[in-house]
Amino acid sequence: MSENELLKLKREFLEYLEIEKGRNIKTINNYERYLSRFLEFANIQSPKEITDDILRTYRLWLNRQFSGTSVGGIKETLKKKTQNYYLIALRGFLKYLARREIRSLPPERIELAKVAERTIDVITYEELERLLSAPDGSDIKSLRDGAILELLFSTGLRVSELCSLQRDIDLSKGELSVRGKGDKVRVVFISEKAKMTIKTYLDKRKDMDDSLFVQLSPSGKDADRESNRLTPRSIERIIKKYAIKAGISKKVTPHVIRHSFATDLLENGADLRSVQILLGHSNISTTQIYTHVTDKHLREIHKNFHDKRR
């Protein structure tokens, strides 16, 4: 093995992710950053030098790294979830080496750190109604913002998926195809209320931009820039503004509306598998985070059968 063999293999692995696995550039950049950190730490030259001992000392090192934030003047170390991102990248690299029959540490030797069960931020149905009603003007900016909120709740789209939508949306069908994580395409459905708000907004548009949701100048006119497409950060600011206007003290983000979409379906009787497909989750375990807040069946069982002897 030459001195730069590991760097060469890392580059080939990243190319494999892009070409054969179809991962997006952001994911590839993250893998590059995580793997570079490992290689800098390990200071080794060949794959066979990746050993259990190297892995153990790397995990200790990761666990002691500062995250860049502090609480009460005390610097915080990297969260277990963040440490797992580094380990997942390394494990993916080792799987690639094994696939090519290059001798190294078996990927199954990497166990991820245990993390606390994920919780979700939710708002009540009453708060959601106030949020959706907050853009109450007839100007184009209010119409645009109302359409954004209604479409997010109707479809459960991720904010990046919402921003990528084109203006030539066919509202007559009541559904649209979106390309989500992992370049996977799924169908989402548009409610009558969402269709109406989008149509009203588009009827008032005078520009020729292909994007469905565009930036507007403070005066409400179309902004004079090369690309008018709204960014995820812009959507986040818009939702924050209307949450404040609606008197909601909790932090409200596009993902909170996605949570509301999922919990609304489950509370009204939808099965978990269907919700998984509508959300575009590749693994149903990701969707299962919603069950503890929506399982009315278990609540009714407890109410009807618990402690009947008293």
pLDDT greater at residue 125 or residue 298: 125
Q: Which of 100, 181, 184, 225 is catalytic?
A: 181
80/144 same-domain check = no
DSSP per-residue codes, 162-191 = HHT-BS---TTTTEEEEE-GGG-EEEEE--
Q: ∠ CA 62-68-74 to the nearest 5 degrees?
A: 95
16 catalytic per annotation: no
170/214 same-domain check = yes
Q: What's the gap between Cα 193 and its chain centre?
A: 25
In a domain, 309, yes or no: no
Q: What is the CATH number of the domain that holds 103?
A: 1.10.150.130
pLDDT per residue as tens digits for the range 127-185? 999 999 999 999 999 999 999 999 999 999 999 999 999 999 999 989 999 988 877 88
Q: Which of 10, 144, 259, 281 is catalytic?
A: 281
pLDDT per residue as tens digits for the range 24-65? 888 899 999 999 999 999 999 999 999 999 999 999 999 999
In a domain, 307, yes or no: no
pLDDT per residue as tens digits for the range 204-259? 999 899 999 999 865 545 444 555 899 999 999 999 999 999 999 999 999 999 99
273 catalytic per annotation: no
104/136 same-domain check = no
158 catalytic per annotation: yes
pLDDT per residue as tens digits for the range 112-123? 888 766 667 788
Cα distance between residue 72 and residue 76, in whole Å: 10
Q: Which amino acid is at 141?
A: K
**DSSP β-bridge partners for residue 24:** none
Tell me the backbone φ, ψ of residue 247, rounded to 5 degrees. 75, 30
226/182 same-domain check = yes
Contacts of 259 (CB under 8 A, 6+ apart): 120, 121, 122, 290
Cα distance between residue 33 and residue 230, in whole Å: 28
67/155 same-domain check = no
Alpha helices (runs of H) in 205-305, residue ranges in sequence order? 232-245, 254-267, 272-279, 284-287, 291-294, 296-305
Q: In the chain, helix, strand, coil percent, each to 5?
A: 55, 10, 35
Q: Which of 141, 158, 195, 259 is catalytic?
A: 158
Q: Is the pLDDT of residue 267 over 90?
A: no
92/158 same-domain check = no
138/206 same-domain check = yes
Q: Which of 23, 141, 144, 258 is catalytic?
A: 258
258 catalytic per annotation: yes
Q: Which of 79, 186, 204, 255 is catalytic?
A: 255
Tell me the backbone φ, ψ of residue 270, rounded to 5 degrees. -70, 145
Cα distance between residue 303 and residue 291, in whole Å: 18
Q: What is the CATH number of the domain that holds 231?
A: 1.10.443.10
306 catalytic per annotation: no
> What does the pLDDT read at residue 223?
46
105 lies in which domain range? 5-109
Count of CA atoms in the C-beta half-sphere (13 A) of 277? 9
The secondary element (H helix, E strand) that includes residue 75 is strand 74-77
Q: Which of 86, 201, 242, 290 is catalytic?
A: 290
137/82 same-domain check = no
